[in-house]
Amino acid sequence: MANYNKIPQATAKRLPLYYRFLNNLHIQGKDRVSSKELSNAMKVDSATIRRDFSYFGALGKKGYGYNVDYLLGFFRKTLDQDENTPVVLIGVGNLGTAFLNYNFTKNNNTKIEVAFDADPSKVGKKIGNIHVYHVDDLEEHVGDIQVAILTVPVSEAQPMADRLVQAGVKGILNFTPARITVPNDVRVHHIDLAVELQSLVYFMKHYPLEDE
């Protein structure tokens, strides 16, 4: 099996996407897939897919394609799909409530285990079966959870990030527009929906896709 440490970051970033797509193929009962099919479905060019898959130790055969079960086994191991990763959510407003109801259970094992809000009218409630605690009690309930989703107002992003880091969190998925500062050993991924939308519109305008 390929050595995970050697996989370039750009390839590693596509792993969850590959995993989700191949899992769907598996559910449909497909046991093989070509790089062309993958490329069309995932909008990643087939040369990139072939190079990525060679890092995974998967060599496609001409006229056969890739073995779906082999790839799924590899992705499960590297993405720790066999292990549960508990997640904490801070800010049970519009966005946070939607995430609690969705809760990422469809294809993988990351799950929000506990949520916090500052609004007393939300505290004590269960949303999507997840208990909402007061943020004042964060340290008491966060336990050894290392991953956090931040869906608080922008002004609260940095103070909350500081507290999460203090409580032992090592990864933050930040949905607020704030650029938060954290120590070097903490990873932050920003998801800015406005930027994503602008970028989509820009690409539609300047790089129009053609029907094959």
Binding site residue list for NAD(+):
91-96
- For residue 154, state whether it binds ligand NAD (rule: CB under 6 A): yes
Going by C-alpha positions, the residue among 41, 47, 16 that lies closest to residue 28 is 41
For ligand NAD, which residue of 15, 66, 79, 117 counts as binding (CB under 6 A)?
A: 117
Q: Total residues contacting ligand NAD (rule CB under 6 A)?
A: 23
- For residue 149, state whether it binds ligand NAD (rule: CB under 6 A): no
Q: Is the dihedral of CA 148, 149, 155, 156 positive or negative?
A: negative
Nearest approach, Cβ of 179 to ligand NAD (angstroms)? Answer: 12
Please give, one letter per residue, the 3-state secondary structure of 157-211: HHHHHHHHHHCCCCEEEECCCCCCCCCCCCEEEECCHHHHHHHHHHHHHHCCCCC
Which span sits near ligand NAD by CB under 6 A: 20-28, 73-81, 92-100, 195-203?
92-100
Which span sits near ligand NAD by CB under 6 A: 35-43, 46-54, 76-84, 152-160?
152-160
Kindly report the number of other CB atoms within 10 A of residue 130's CB atom: 20
- Whose Cβ is closer to ligand NAD: residue 56's or residue 116's? 116
CB crowding 62-78: b at 16 or more within 10 Å, else e: eeebbbbebbbebbbeb
Do 90 and 145 form a contact (C-beta atoms < 8 A)?
no
For ligand NAD, which residue of 88, 148, 175, 180 counts as binding (CB under 6 A)?
A: 175
- For residue 135, state whether it binds ligand NAD (rule: CB under 6 A): yes
Q: Please give the residue ranges that form the binding site for ligand NAD (CB under 6 A).
A: 90-96, 116-119, 122, 135, 151-154, 156, 160, 175-177, 193
